[in-house]
Amino acid sequence: MAEPSRVRDLLGRQSAGGEVRVRGWLRSARHAKAVSFLDVSDGSCVGGVQVVGAPGLSNYEAEVRKLRTGCAVIAEGELVESPARGQRYEIQASRIEVVGWVGDDYPLQKKRHSFEFLREIAHLRPRTRSIGAVLRVRNAAAMAIHEFFQERGFMYLHTPIITTSDAEGAGEMFRVSTLDPASPPRTPAGEVDFTSDFFGKPAHLTVSGQLESEIGALALGDVYTFGPTFRAENSNTPRHLAEFWMVEPEMAFCDLRGNADLAESFLRGLIASVLERCPEELEFFDGLADGNLIDALRHIAESPFERLDYSEAVEILERSGQSFEFPVAWGNDLQSEHERYLSERHVGRPLIVTDYPKDIKAFYMYVNDDGRTVRAMDVLVPRVGEIIGGSQREDRAEVLERRITDCGLSPADYAWYLDLRRHGSVPHAGFGLGFERAVQLITGLANIRDVAPFPRVPGYADF
Ligand code: 4AD
Ligand code: MG
């Protein structure tokens, strides 16, 4: 009996011939007079392989003719040149084993389903061409990210998921607690007594691995973390998830410019790598995007990013003559519409905006000599807007402590973080790439819920 093959390998063969075996699920089944055409897909590539069944099969009438979309089969037979259009090979089956039937209510059919509908069946949608392709792109992108950093000597550091520090100081964290929510222990003042909670103090899911990455960088030089992060912000947008993956490099002896240079080569390299690793998937997404995707990605991979400081960006927006929904003024944060205008309309490619007002950025960013801006940077890309956020970190203990206090946070909560500035402090910098936003950019999909296998958003954490 032939060893099982992946459909991708079969379709990539130099020539037909030989006995083969495939295992997968039917994308479609068409039963004609005395012949059945089964489109078997196994998740290894966008397309399936056509298996042709004929009455010679022992179970042809009893089983094969009853096969429908969604059934699981193992098929064996000869790999032959296909007379049909659009496929090189097909399998003339000598045996078809039905491994799993489908119920009458199987929701996937041969036609194209809307992404909205597919979100409701996240347990079955990986079997579709589109979500299967998304998952393969995620896989390839994740591997490309590790290779990028490993090749440059960065060490992969595993930062914690449960934390007692708010890395962004924005209070958008999910609590982790084993206290009984119905009757938590109380302090004499009537507040919840977290000293008797599991960790002896309030604990949360991390919003970013940055603070611990800084510990790593200040000992190992260049490190990166790549893991899940969580934000309890009530944002119902096509670009926000409550759980998303972030890639966060952190470099010792590095300033904002070095950081921006790394961000640019990282993002361009990532896109080039996925273009190379997933040509078939990107052709597929290019089709969904009316042919506008691959050229746009090549353009990003090949052209240098524009760089602007925040004040210049605000002037450009003010002079743009656009009527934005959110007002543009020095001191206001850039909104997605502004980010997209700058990237799509003003420069026509990605750009890096630096030196934002300190009042709209996190406590840990290095304060510039002007006293009102910080060494922050955001990388903005067409269609998605902000894809990377980063900064040079404040490495002066006194300045950092003042910033923590000014931001309404308590230096006591950041004692170890301040300590790092008192013992062998060096200039250092890093950034975070939102992995799902990168996958949105690469696939061209409009909604972030379609590039996360199991999206978590306000009001929804099924599957
Ligand atoms: O700009 P952010 O908040 O930066 C940080 O968390 C820093 N601590 C990173 C660092 O310097 N090490 O988030 C970084 C990126 C954003 O640019 C965006 O791409 C993504 O993470 N991101 C989200 N992606 C999906 N859903 C959300 N709710 C996101 N919030 C941020
Ligand atoms: Mg940001």
Which comes out higher in pLDDT, residue 86 or 16?
A: 16
Ligand 1 first shell, C-beta below 6 A: 167-168, 208, 210, 231, 240-241, 244, 246, 248, 386-391, 430-432, 434, 436-437
Q: Which ligand minimizes its atom distance to the CA of 365?
A: 1
Q: Tell me, what's the pLDDT at 333?
A: 96
Q: pTM for this one?
A: 0.97
Closest residue CA from atom 9 of ligand 1: 432
Q: What is the mean pLDDT of residues 45-69?
A: 97
Strand stretches in 135-212, DSSP E: 155-156, 162-163, 175-176, 203-205
Closest residue CA from atom 27 of ligand 1: 240
- Looking at the chain, the whole-number percentage of residues with pLDDT higher than 90 is 97
Q: Tell me, what's the pLDDT at 286?
A: 98
Q: Kindly report, residue by residue over 395-451, the tens digit of the pLDDT.
A: 999 999 999 999 999 999 999 999 999 999 999 999 999 999 999 999 999 999 999
- If pLDDT is split at 50, 70 and 90, which confidence band does 85 have? confident
Q: Tell me, what's the pLDDT at 84?
A: 87
Q: Kindly report, residue by residue over 332-388, the tens digit of the pLDDT.
A: 999 999 999 999 999 999 999 999 999 999 999 999 999 999 999 999 999 999 999
Q: What is the mean pLDDT of residues 174-185?
A: 97
Q: CA–CA separation, 428 vs 379, rounded Å?
A: 18
Q: Are strands 306-309 and 351-354 parallel, antiparallel or unpaired?
A: parallel
Closest residue CA from atom 15 of ligand 1: 434
Q: What is the helix (H) or strand (E) element at residue 268, kind and residue range?
A: helix 256-277
Closest ligand 1 atom to residue 248 Cα is: 12
Distance 378 CA to ligand 2 centre (A): 7
Identify which of 226, 225, 214 has the alpha carbon closest to the alpha carbon of residue 251: 214
User: Given a cut of 90, is residue 283 above it in pLDDT?
Assistant: yes
Q: Kindly report, residue by residue over 199-217, the tens digit of the pLDDT.
A: 999 999 999 999 999 999 9
CA distances from 57 to 24, 26, 65, 67, 100 (A): 19, 18, 11, 14, 18
Q: CA–CA separation, 99 vs 18, rounded Å?
A: 23
Q: How many Cβ atoms are within 10 Å of 345's Cβ, its own excluded? A: 12
Q: Are strands 155-156 and 72-81 parallel, antiparallel or unpaired?
A: unpaired
Q: What is the mean pLDDT of residues 243-253?
A: 98
Q: CA–CA separation, 247 vs 439, rounded Å?
A: 12
β-bridge partners, 45? none
User: Given a cut of 80, is residue 1 above it in pLDDT?
Assistant: no
Q: Tell me, what's the pLDDT at 199?
A: 98
Q: Are strands 4-5 and 19-32 parallel, antiparallel or unpaired?
A: parallel
- What one-character DSSP code corresponds to residue 120? T
Q: How many Cβ atoms are within 10 Å of 320's Cβ, its own excluded? A: 15
Q: CA–CA separation, 258 vs 93, rounded Å?
A: 59
CB 110 within 8 A of CB 50: no
User: Given a cut of 90, is residue 104 above it in pLDDT?
Assistant: yes
**Cα dihedral sign, 177-181-184-190:** positive
Average model confidence (pLDDT) across the chain:
97
* Number of residues written out for the chain: 463
Q: What is the mean pLDDT of residues 117-130?
A: 97
Q: Which of 213, 231, 246, 428 to mutate to test the pocket of ligand 1 (most atoms within 8 A of CB)?
A: 246
- What one-character DSSP code corresponds to residue 347? I
Q: Which ligand minimizes its atom distance to the CA of 386?
A: 1
Distance 24 CA to ligand 1 centre (A): 38
Closest residue CA from atom 30 of ligand 1: 240
CB 26 within 8 A of CB 75: no
Q: Tell me, what's the pLDDT at 356?
A: 98
Q: What is the mean pLDDT of residues 273-281?
A: 98
Q: Tell me, what's the pLDDT at 2?
A: 87
Q: CA–CA separation, 278 vs 332, rounded Å?
A: 40
